[in-house]
Amino acid sequence: MAEEPSAKRHRVDLHGKETLEIVCTSEPDKVDEMMSRLWRKAGGKIHKIIGVGVHYTREDEPPQMAAVLQLCVDELFLVYHIAAATKWPKRPNELLQHETLFTFAGFSIESDKERLKLSGMEINPNKFIDIQRKWRVPYTGKEYDSLTDVAASVIHPFTKA
């Protein structure tokens, strides 16, 4: 595993109305801190959706595992560089396995589930939905729409991918 970089924090202004906070790290303490913040933001009385993205190690270097896990609640994002971590954080599985407060949403998630499991993490399968299977872009006639198709239709229905 690679040497751990320090955590990097980014603030991204969206059209002067909202600011996204993005933390990129492989440091276990920073991951645990961000998991606590995501938990506080997502927890409480209202059921929340947590956005999930997973990137993998190289296909030509088996076994292919999760290299990066991205989690998002509202305007708070964690980009966890699993492949660069030298120690495991304590909090991820607690959040990822929770039974009632959260639903996790990703796009084309079957490989994500497999790669996360190989990397020692697993999202509660009863709470992990695949946007690609739940959402259809009207009038495309495709069996499954691409992420670009879905994003374009949600952002602006008249956008053509």
161 residues of the chain, pLDDT tens digit each: 444 456 899 999 887 888 999 999 999 999 999 999 888 887 766 788 899 999 998 888 888 888 999 999 889 999 999 988 888 898 888 889 988 888 999 988 888 888 998 888 899 989 999 888 887 777 777 777 777 777 777 776 554 54
- Distance separating alpha carbons of residues 122 and 148, to the nearest angstrom: 26
- Distance separating alpha carbons of residues 6 and 26, to the nearest angstrom: 8
Q: What is the CATH number of domain 8-133?
A: 3.30.420.10
**Where do we find the tokens 């909202």?**
18
**pTM, to two decimals:** 0.80
What is the per-residue pLDDT for 6?
A: 66
Rounded to 5°, angle at Cα 91 from 86 and 96 = 110
What is the per-residue pLDDT for 141?
A: 78
What is the per-residue pLDDT for 47?
A: 80
* Cβ neighbours of residue 134 closer than 8 Å, sequence gap 6 or more: none
- Distance separating alpha carbons of residues 33 and 29, to the nearest angstrom: 6
Alpha helices in the chain (DSSP H): 28-42, 92-96, 110-118, 131-134, 147-155
What is the per-residue pLDDT for 15?
A: 77
What is the per-residue pLDDT for 120?
A: 87
Amino acid at site 23: V
SS3 149: helix
